[in-house]
C-alpha cells in the first residue's frame, strides 16, 4: 500500500504487472474492473488516466473488434498509441523476442498489447519486457480481456455471478475465449457447462465446477446464458473437423433451440460469428442476443484493465 499524491490509499502499482490470463487478477480486482467499466460507460473519464503513456499494439494475428476496441480504449485514457504491422518487424528478420522487448523499452514503450497465434508468446515477451504486457489472445490458450467483457455483460444483465448457469457451446478445444472464461467463471462461482462433440470438446475438459454435456437440447432449458463459439477452421486438423451438416444438427442455435432457451436467458458470442454455422440469423436477431453489448463493453473493460495495470487499484474502489 502507498499514499497517492491525492491522499487516497492505493495498492502500489508495479511497472511490470501484466495481464496474461484472467487469473492474474484477483476476484476483487475482476469485480473492480467490471464496476469501473460500468462507470466509464456512464461517464467517460478525462483523458488523463494514462496520459502520455506509450502503448504499443502488436497484433500478429488478424483482429477486427479486439484491435479496434483496444485502440479506442487506449485513446480514451489518454495514452500515446502506436500500432504497427508486425509482419514488417525485425522479428521476421531473426531478432529474438527478448531483443525486441529490450528495443521497445529503450524507445519508451511502457505497455504492449499483443496477439499471437503461438500459445505462450505474450508470457515470453513479458519475461523480457520491462513494462506491462496485455494478452489480446494467444493461440488456443487465453484471451483475458474477452473473458472480462463477457463477465461484464453477464453482470450488467443479472447483477451477480454466484450461481449463474452458463453453457459454453461448440469448438471449446481451439478456443482461448472458452479457456479464459472457464477460469474466470470458476473464480466467480458461476456454474459452467461445456457442450460440444468429442472431437471439439474432449472429456478431459471436465473439472471441478465444470461439466461436459453432449446433448445441447437437454442443457438449454436450464441456463441463464449460452455462449456460442465459432468453429475455428484455421486451427482445426482436417481429420477433426466434423461434417458441417452433423455439427449444425447437434450444436447450431436456431429456431427449435431458441424455443428451449428460457425467456430471461441471454445469448453471447465473442465474434466473429459465422451465420448459418454455429447460429442462425434468427438467433442473432433474437432479443436475448447480447453480441453488440459485448462488443461495446469491450472498450470500457479495456480502459479499466489498462488503468488497473498501470495505476494500481484504489482501495475500496
Window 78-137: residues binding ligand NCD (CB under 6 A): 137
Residue 196 in contact with ligand NCD, rule: CB under 6 A: no
- Sequence-distant (≥ 6) Cβ neighbours of residue 119 within 8 angstroms: 138, 139, 140, 141, 142, 176
Number of shown-chain residues binding ligand NCD (CB under 6 A): 11
Among 176, 257, 290, 302, binds ligand NCD (CB under 6 A): 176
Which is closer to ligand NCD, CB of 49 or CB of 154? 154
Which three-class secondary structure state does DSSP give residue 196?
coil
Which is closer to ligand NCD, CB of 229 or CB of 304? 229
Categorise residue 38: left if φ over 0, alpha if ψ from -120 to 50, beta otherwise.
alpha
Residue 177 in contact with ligand NCD, rule: CB under 6 A: yes
Which is closer to ligand NCD, CB of 131 or CB of 137? 137
Which is closer to ligand NCD, CB of 140 or CB of 280? 140
Return the residue matching grid coordinates 470438446.
201
Which is closer to ligand NCD, CB of 75 or CB of 232? 232
Q: Do 226 and 253 touch, CB atoms closer than 8 A?
A: yes
| CA–CA separation, 123 and 133 (whole Å) | 8
Residue 143 in contact with ligand NCD, rule: CB under 6 A: yes
Window 197-256: residues binding ligand NCD (CB under 6 A): 230, 232
* Distance (Å) of CA 21 to CA 136, 140, 179, 284: 10, 12, 9, 28
Which is closer to ligand NCD, CB of 76 or CB of 269? 269
| CA–CA separation, 255 and 286 (whole Å) | 10
Per-residue cell: 51: 496520459
Least distance from ligand NCD to the Cβ atom of residue 180, Å: 9
Residue nearest to ligand NCD (CB): 230
Which is closer to ligand NCD, CB of 205 or CB of 312? 205
Least distance from ligand NCD to the Cβ atom of residue 296, Å: 13
CA-nearest of 40, 112, 29, 31 to 76 is 40
Among 35, 65, 123, 288, binds ligand NCD (CB under 6 A): 65
Site string for ligand NCD, 248-287 (x = CB under 6 A): ----------------------xx----------------
CA-nearest of 270, 266, 306, 225 to 40 is 306
Residue 19 in contact with ligand NCD, rule: CB under 6 A: no
CA-nearest of 216, 201, 226, 205 to 150 is 226
Q: Do 202 and 175 touch, CB atoms closer than 8 A?
A: no
Per-residue cell: 4: 497517492
Residues that bind ligand NCD (CB under 6 A): 65-66, 137, 143, 146, 176-177, 230, 232, 270-271
Amino acid at each position: 500500500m502507498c499514499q497517492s499524491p491525492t491522499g487516497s490509499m492505493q495498492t502500489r502499482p508495479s511497472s511490470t504487472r501484466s495481464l496474461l490470463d484472467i487469473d492474474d487478477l484477483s476476484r476483487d480486482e475482476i469485480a473492480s474492473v467490471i464496476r469501473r467499466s460500468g462507470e466509464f460507460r456512464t461517464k467517460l473519464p478525462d483523458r488523463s488516466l494514462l496520459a502520455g503513456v506509450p502503448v504499443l499494439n502488436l497484433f500478429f494475428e488478424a483482429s477486427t473488434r479486439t484491435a479496434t476496441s483496444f485502440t479506442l480504449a487506449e485513446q480514451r485514457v489518454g495514452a500515446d498509441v502506436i500500432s504497427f504491422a508486425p509482419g514488417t518487424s525485425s522479428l521476421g528478420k531473426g531478432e529474438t523476442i527478448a531483443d525486441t522487448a529490450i528495443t521497445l523499452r529503450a524507445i519508451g514503450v511502457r505497455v504492449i498489447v499483443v496477439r499471437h497465434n503461438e500459445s505462450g508468446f505474450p508470457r515470453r515477451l513479458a519475461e523480457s519486457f520491462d513494462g506491462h504486457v496485455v494478452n489480446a489472445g494467444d493461440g488456443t490458450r487465453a484471451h483475458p480481456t474477452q473473458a472480462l467483457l463477457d463477465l461484464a455483460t453477464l453482470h450488467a444483465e443479472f447483477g451477480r455471478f454466484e450461481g449463474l448457469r452458463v453453457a459454453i457451446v461448440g469448438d471449446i478445444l481451439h478456443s482461448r475465449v472458452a479457456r479464459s472464461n472457464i477460469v474466470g467463471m470458476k473464480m466467480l462461482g458461476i456454474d459452467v457447462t461445456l457442450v460440444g462433440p468429442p472431437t471439439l470438446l474432449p472429456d478431459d475438459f471436465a473439472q471441478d465446477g465444470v461439466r461436459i454435456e453432449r446433448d445441447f437440447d437437454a442443457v438449454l432449458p436450464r441456463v441463464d446464458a449460452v455462449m456460442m463459439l465459432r468453429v475455428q477452421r484455421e486451427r482445426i486438423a482436417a481429420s477433426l473437423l466434423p461434417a458441417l451438416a452433423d455439427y449444425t444438427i447437434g450444436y447450431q442455435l436456431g429456431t427449435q433451440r431458441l424455443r428451449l432457451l428460457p425467456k430471461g436467458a441471454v445469448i453471447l458470442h465473442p465474434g466473429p460469428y459465422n451465420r448459418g454455422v454455429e447460429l442462425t440469423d434468427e438467433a442473432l436477431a433474437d432479443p436475448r442476443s447480447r453480441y453488440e453489448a459485448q462488443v461495446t463493453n469491450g472498450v470500457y473493460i479495456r480502459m479499466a484493465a489498462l488503468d488497473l495495470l498501470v495505476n494500481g487499484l484504489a482501495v475500496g474502489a
